[in-house]
Amino acid sequence: MDPQLVTDLVVHTILIVIVATLLMGGFAAMTVVERKLLGRFTLRYGPNRVGKFGTLQVIADMFKMFFKEEVVPDHVDRAIYLMAPGMALVPAMLAFAVVPIAQAPFVLPFEVFGYTITVNPWIADINVGVLYILAIGSLGTYGVVLGGWSSNNKYSLLGGLRTSAQMLSYELPMGVALLGVIMLAGSLQLTQIVDFQNAWLGLRWFILFQPIAFIIFYICSLAEAGRAPFDLPETENELIAGFATEYGAMKFGLFFGAEYIHMIVVSFIMATLFLGGWSGPFATQVPLLGIVYLLLKVGFILFTMIWVRASTPRVRFDKLMKFNWKFLLPLSIANAAVTALVAGVIFF
């Protein structure tokens, strides 16, 4: 085997481990941040007993998950029941692979023992990045659906059925909404989409040209991540815990982590596609500044997601589906049609 190929594989493996670790750390941090913000929104303190201002609450929660008794009910389909949490978590992390976090080259190539080490600010830069995101994002549905089915519980099954209907339905307007971005950028590659937005001092963001597409994508992202007010697959007042009813300890923790990591990754994708990603004033001259811009944009999107949860009640499931098929999907198609017409007049 080519030694340089082995070197590249080692570098990519290290990058994957770093990204996975940071995403898990982001999940841990978001649990505390969300609880503190929800507390403030509802005139409470939130967690404040463990550590300064409750900052170590995540450590207490982690130990609780680790040391809870692992119970596997007799009536479940054991193999699928145990695999389902991982099947929900892994696709949420894989979607981050094509997200550029800075301008290339972030680190100039250097040699170690005669081998060239190239470190790019992404794991993979493929020319069908948008399609990859849509494809990988839909795989997370299988973990939730199979978890609900394998639990052999009526509440879990209903939660799984709701998940399959909700997530598969909301993927349609999400994909159609992205057509406007693809047509204007002329590429499915996320690095080229960010480069297109790097004009006008890094402020030529697609949200300025595609505000309707951004709103549609944002709403569909909430539904895809199972966030309020679209958390009907696990709504407590109807289905106890929905698809997660029969899960506990670390198995439940994996489902919990999948939701938060999905939320974080979707925020990165939204910031990349509509808010310019790492682009901004002087980000080209100072690559580290680009990472700061990206994190600020992602942080703002995450804040709005928590804000929506604190201020928006759940809707009935039939109204949720009607909203998708009778409003969001036609609106996304109309937006794509108008964008194609305007782009055709301007460019041709």
What is the tens place of the pLDDT at every residue in 101-110? 988 777 767 7
pLDDT value of residue 108: 66
In a domain, 293, yes or no: yes
In a domain, 263, yes or no: yes
- Tokens 């978890």 — which residue? 147
What is the tens place of the pLDDT at every residue in 146-163? 888 888 888 888 887 888
What is the tens place of the pLDDT at every residue in 180-231? 999 999 899 999 999 999 988 889 999 999 999 999 999 999 988 878 788 7
Contacts of 28 (CB under 8 A, 6+ apart): 58, 62
In a domain, 24, yes or no: no
In a domain, 193, yes or no: yes
Q: How confident is the model at residue 1 (pLDDT cuts 50, 70, 90)?
A: low
SS3 240: coil
The C-alpha atoms of residue 27 and residue 223 are separated, in whole angstroms, by 18
In a domain, 165, yes or no: yes
In a domain, 297, yes or no: yes
In a domain, 30, yes or no: no
In a domain, 290, yes or no: yes
pLDDT at 334 over 90: yes
Give the residue numbers spanning the domain of 187.
Answer: 73-108+125-347
CA 301 to chain centre: 11
Q: How many domains does the chain have?
A: 1
